[in-house]
C-alpha cells in the first residue's frame, strides 16, 4: 500500500516537473521571462510579422511582437500598427529605427531596432520610427514584376514590329524575286557580251596614257619641275638662315639702341629741358617777333621797289623825281 502511494507521489512529482519545465520553455520561447514595456511602430507592409515575432536591438533579442492592428489614414491609405513588448528598462534612443529584417534567406522575419546616437531615450508607450526592410523575396518579386512589365510593354511590341518587317520584306522579295533574277540574268549576259570591247577600251586608254602622260617630254618636264622644287627648297633654307642671321643682328641693334638710350638718358632729358625753355621764351615773345618780321618784310619790299626804280641807289644816287607831282 505504501509502495503504491510512493509511486503515485513520484509520478505526480515527475508530471509537475514536466509541466513546470514546459511552462518555463514556453516562457523562454515567447520572450516573457520578465517584466516588459510597450512600444509601437507603423509600417505600410507587415508581411511575415505576427504575434511572437522576435524583436532585436542591434541583433540582441529584447522582446517580441504583441499584436498587429490595421490603421486607415486620413488620405485613405491602409497602414499597420505593430505593438512591441520590450524588456523593461531597456534604453531606446529617440532617433532609433525599427526595421523589418531577415538574417538569412530562410531565416524568420524579425524587427531589428537600430539604436541612434541621441542621449535622450524614448519613454514606454512611445512610437519607434519604422522603416520597411528589403527581403530577398520582395526584391525578387519586384524584379520579376519589372521584367514582366518590360516584356509586355517593350520587348513584345518590338518583336511584333520585327516580325511584321520581316514578313513584309519576305512578301516583297517573293513578289519581286523573279523580276530581280531576270534583270540580273540580262545584266550578266550583256556584261559577258561587252567584255571584249571593254577590254579593248581599257587597253587603248592605257596605251594613250603611256604615250601622252608618260612620254619622254613629260617625264623630262616632271624631272625639271622636281629639280626646280629642290632648288627652291634649298633657296628657302638659305633664306631662312639669312633671316635668322638678320633677326640676330636686329636684336643686337635693338640692344645697342636700348643701351645708348639708357646711357644718354640724362643728356636727352637736359636737351629736352633746354628745348622746352627755348620754346617757352619764343612763345612769350612771338607777338613782337611777328611785328618785327612784318616791319622788316615791309622795309625790304620798299627797298627792293626803290632799287628797281633807281638801281643807282646802291652807289649813292638820289631817288628819281616823282613825275606825278
Question: Counting every residue, how long is the chain?
Answer: 325
Question: Does residue 234 share a domain with residue 195?
Answer: no
Distances (CA, A) of 126 to 42, 46, 82, 85, 93: 12, 19, 12, 12, 11
Q: What percent of the chain has pLDDT over 70?
A: 82
**Domain closes at, from 162, 196, 213:** 213
3-class secondary structure, 302: helix
Count of Cβ atoms closer than 10 Å to residue 157 Cβ: 10
Domain that holds residue 227: 216-314
CATH code for the domain in which residue 295 is found: 1.10.287
Q: Give the span between the Cα atoms of 253 and 147, in whole angstroms.
A: 83
Q: Give the span between the Cα atoms of 221 and 44, in whole angstroms.
A: 94
Residue 214: per-residue pLDDT? 66
Q: What percent of the chain has pLDDT over 90?
A: 15
Q: Where are the alpha helices (DSSP H) in 98-155?
A: 136-150
Question: Does residue 51 share a domain with residue 91?
Answer: yes
In a domain, 3, yes or no: no
* Res. 324 pLDDT band, cuts 50 70 90: very low
Question: Does residue 209 share a domain with residue 154?
Answer: yes
pLDDT, tens digit, 9 for 90 and up, residues 275-289: 888 888 878 888 888
In a domain, 270, yes or no: yes
Examine the pLDDT at 139 and tell me if it is beyond 70: no
pLDDT, tens digit, 9 for 90 and up, residues 21-66: 887 766 666 555 568 899 999 998 888 888 888 999 988 999 999 9
Burial class (CB in 10 A: 0-12, 13-18, 19+), 112: buried
Question: Does residue 82 share a domain with residue 61?
Answer: yes
In a domain, 171, yes or no: yes
Residue reference for cell 636700348: 258
pLDDT, tens digit, 9 for 90 and up, residues 75-124: 888 999 999 999 989 999 999 999 988 766 667 888 999 988 889 999 99
3-class secondary structure, 55: strand
With residues binned 3-state (H G I as helix, E B as strand, rest as coil), the percentages for the chain, rounded to 5, are 60, 15, 20
Question: Does residue 92 share a domain with residue 145?
Answer: no
Give the list of residues 6+ apart from residue 104 with CB closer than 8 angstroms, or none. Answer: none
* Over residues 186-201, mean pLDDT: 84
The tally of domains found in the chain comes to 3
Average of per-residue pLDDT values in the chain: 80
Which of 59, 65, 69, 82 has the alpha carbon at shortest distance from 31?
65
3-class secondary structure, 38: strand
Give the list of residues 6+ apart from residue 82 with CB closer than 8 angstroms, or none. Answer: 40, 41, 42, 43, 46, 49, 65, 67, 68, 111, 130
Question: Does residue 124 share a domain with residue 51?
Answer: yes
Lowest mean pLDDT among 14-28, 121-135, 147-161: 14-28
Host H or E run for residue 193: helix 156-208
Amino acid at each position: 500500500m505504501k509502495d503504491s502511494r510512493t509511486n503515485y507521489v513520484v509520478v505526480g512529482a515527475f508530471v509537475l516537473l514536466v509541466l513546470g519545465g514546459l511552462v518555463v520553455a514556453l516562457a523562454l520561447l515567447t520572450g516573457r521571462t520578465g517584466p516588459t514595456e510597450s512600444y509601437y511602430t507603423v509600417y505600410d507592409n507587415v508581411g511575415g510579422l505576427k504575434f511572437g515575432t522576435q524583436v532585436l536591438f542591434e541583433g540582441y533579442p529584447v522582446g517580441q511582437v504583441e499584436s498587429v492592428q490595421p490603421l486607415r489614414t486620413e488620405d485613405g491609405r491602409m497602414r499597420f500598427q505593430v505593438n512591441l513588448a520590450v524588456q523593461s528598462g531597456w534604453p531606446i534612443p529617440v532617433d532609433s529605427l525599427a526595421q523589418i529584417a531577415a538574417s538569412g534567406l530562410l531565416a524568420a522575419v524579425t524587427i531589428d531596432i537600430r539604436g541612434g546616437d541621441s542621449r535622450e531615450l524614448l519613454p514606454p508607450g512611445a512610437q519607434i520610427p519604422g522603416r520597411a526592410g528589403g527581403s530577398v523575396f520582395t526584391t525578387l518579386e519586384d524584379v520579376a514584376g519589372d521584367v514582366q512589365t518590360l516584356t509586355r510593354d517593350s520587348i513584345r511590341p518590338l518583336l511584333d514590329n520585327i516580325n511584321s518587317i520581316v514578313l513584309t520584306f519576305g512578301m516583297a522579295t517573293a513578289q519581286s524575286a523573279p523580276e530581280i533574277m531576270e534583270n540580273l540574268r540580262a545584266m550578266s549576259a550583256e556584261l559577258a557580251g561587252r567584255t571584249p570591247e571593254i577590254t579593248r577600251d581599257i587597253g587603248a586608254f592605257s596605251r594613250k596614257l603611256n604615250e601622252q602622260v608618260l612620254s619622254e617630254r613629260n617625264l623630262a618636264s616632271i624631272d625639271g619641275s622636281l629639280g626646280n622644287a629642290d632648288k627652291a627648297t634649298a633657296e628657302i633654307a638659305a633664306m631662312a638662315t639669312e633671316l635668322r642671321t638678320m633677326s640676330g643682328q636686329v636684336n643686337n641693334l635693338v640692344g645697342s639702341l636700348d643701351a645708348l638710350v639708357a646711357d644718354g638718358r640724362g643728356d636727352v632729358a637736359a636737351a629736352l629741358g633746354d628745348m622746352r625753355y627755348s620754346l617757352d621764351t619764343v612763345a612769350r615773345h612771338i607777338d613782337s617777333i611777328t611785328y618785327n618780321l612784318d616791319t622788316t618784310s615791309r622795309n625790304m619790299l620798299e627797298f627792293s621797289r626803290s632799287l628797281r626804280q633807281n638801281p643807282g641807289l646802291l652807289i649813292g644816287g638820289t631817288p628819281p623825281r616823282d613825275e606825278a607831282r
